């Protein structure tokens, strides 16, 4: 493809380095707006992008532009925002300051809050929401490992993005119904807090029926809240969202057959919140359970399990003592 639009990945962490690195590996002009530590690792080692599916791509530092100066946003044709939700307002101000009006801004962030913050702060920009279904684990020295599967879903608009940003090993799909897709992803991301509290890998957690019952109960709470608001989530799995709690409650041998695709993950994979809590970093619990709790309160729908999970995550975060390694009984 000729006439490449320069891409700036704003706040390149694990997802940003993986997506930006894959785009750069296949000919896109990519700048990573990164912190000094990440920049130093990439300058020394380049980017090594691996996956549970056998992906192994090395991107030398010479194929990327690395910057710690937000002024690099001035040259962006497309901005990919990959910061945590709590950092979105600050990044939006930098984008408004440095990029021209009508620039395309794509949020590749968890939850729905981030894209809403970007739209409010950037009314003259072409702001799109996106949904990243996979998680990426940083292994240090510039290596980022995709541990779960799925294609990125991108909101359609006046400029086609999904085809333009799709490259071998990283497929993007366009949709005009991104809101439902985001709600479907939020339902699944409610497990981020449970996984962090458990200290287990995702595979271990999914193969434990006790944990699946907790996952199902929490999702049932959230589905009741969304129904009260007239919101119908789109599932990113072969199952409709309303049936997922029922499948999670199945005996493990039957669950393993019915939900084989859910188990197509790296055996060592954990959720991003698990890694954040382990490292003493802020989590996105307020953009996930917090959103459901607030919406439940508006419609008088009780959300005691979501509240319990949020409180326990915040307590662990405040203590900074790593993963609590709780049991399902601790949450009940």
Note the pLDDT tens digit of each residue in 173-199.
999 999 999 999 999 999 999 999 999
Q: Is the dihedral of CA 21, 25, 66, 5 positive or negative?
A: negative
What are the residues whose beta carbons fall under 8 Å from the beta carbon of 209, sequence distance 6 or more?
249, 251, 252, 255
Report how far residue 112's alpha carbon sits from residue 36's, in angstroms, rounded to the nearest whole number: 29
CATH of 7-176 given 3.20.20.70, 3.30.479.10, 1.10.10.10, 3.40.50.720: 3.40.50.720
Report how far residue 299's alpha carbon sits from residue 197's, in angstroms, rounded to the nearest whole number: 28
What are the residues whose beta carbons fall under 8 Å from the beta carbon of 227, sequence distance 6 or more?
none
- Domain 182-331 in the same topology as domain 7-176: no
Report how far residue 272's alpha carbon sits from residue 285's, in angstroms, rounded to the nearest whole number: 11
Task: Give the burial class of 260: count Cβ atoms within 10 A of its Cβ; 0-12 exposed, 13-18 middle, 19 or more buried.
Answer: exposed
Place of tokens 């029922």: 246
Average pLDDT over residues 40-49: 96
pLDDT tens, position by position, 59-109: 999 999 999 999 999 989 999 999 999 999 999 999 999 999 889 999 999
In DSSP notation, 273-292 reads HHHHHHTT----GGGTHHHH
Please work out, in degrees rounded to the nearest 5, the angle formed at the alpha carbon of residue 203 by the alpha carbons of 149 and 244. Answer: 70
pTM of full prediction above 0.85: yes
What is the CATH number assigned to the segment(s) 182-331? 1.10.1040.10
Report how far residue 150's alpha carbon sits from residue 134's, in angstroms, rounded to the nearest whole number: 6
Q: Which of 106, 117, 99, 115 is nearest to 157 (CA)?
A: 106
pLDDT tens, position by position, 218-267: 999 999 999 999 999 998 777 889 999 999 999 999 999 888 877 788 98
Q: Where are the domains of the chain?
A: 7-176, 182-331
**In 10 A of CB 282, how many CB atoms?**
13
pLDDT value of position 3: 58
Report how far residue 217's alpha carbon sits from residue 201's, in angstroms, rounded to the nearest whole number: 20
- Rg, C-alpha atoms of the chain: 19
Mean pLDDT of the chain: 94
Q: How far is CA 42 from CA 8, 147, 149, 207, in A?
A: 16, 20, 25, 36
């Amino acid at each position: 493809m000729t006439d490449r639009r320069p891409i700036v990945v704003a706040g390149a962490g694990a997802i940003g380095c993986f997506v930006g690195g894959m785009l750069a590996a296949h000919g896109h002009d990519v700048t990573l707006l990164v912190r000094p530590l990440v920049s130093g690792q990439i300058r020394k080692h380049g980017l090594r992008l691996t996956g549970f599916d056998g992906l192994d791509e090395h991107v030398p530092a010479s194929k990327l532009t690395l910057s710690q100066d937000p002024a690099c946003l001035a040259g962006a044709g497309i901005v990919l925002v990959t910061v945590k939700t709590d950092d979105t307002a600050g990044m939006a101000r930098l984008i408004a300051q440095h990029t021209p009006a009508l620039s395309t801004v794509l949020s590749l962030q968890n939850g729905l809050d981030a894209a809403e913050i970007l739209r409010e702060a950037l009314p003259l920009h072409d702001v799109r929401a996106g949904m990243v279904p996979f998680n990426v684990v940083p292994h240090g020295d510039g290596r980022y490992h995709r541990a779960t599967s799925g294609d990125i879903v991108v909101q359609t608009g006046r400029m086609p993005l999904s085809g333009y940003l799709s490259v071998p090993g990283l497929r993007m799909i366009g949709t005009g119904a991104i809101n439902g897709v985001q709600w479907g992803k939020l339902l699944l991301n409610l497990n981020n807090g449970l996984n962090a509290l458990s200290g287990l890998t995702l595979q271990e957690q999914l193969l434990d029926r006790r944990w699946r019952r907790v996952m199902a109960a929490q999702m049932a709470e959230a589905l009741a809240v969304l129904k009260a608001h007239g919101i119908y989530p789109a599932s990113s799995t072969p199952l409709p969202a309303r049936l997922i709690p029922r499948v999670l409650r199945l005996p493990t041998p039957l669950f393993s057959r019915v939900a084989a695709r859910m188990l197509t993950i790296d055996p060592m994979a954990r959720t991003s919140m698990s890694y954040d809590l382990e490292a003493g970093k802020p989590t996105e619990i307020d953009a996930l359970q917090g959103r459901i709790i607030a919406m439940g309160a508006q419609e008088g729908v009780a959300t005691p399990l979501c509240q319990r999970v949020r409180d326990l995550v915040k307590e662990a975060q405040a203590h900074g003592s790593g993963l609590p390694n709780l049991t399902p009984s601790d949450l009940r």
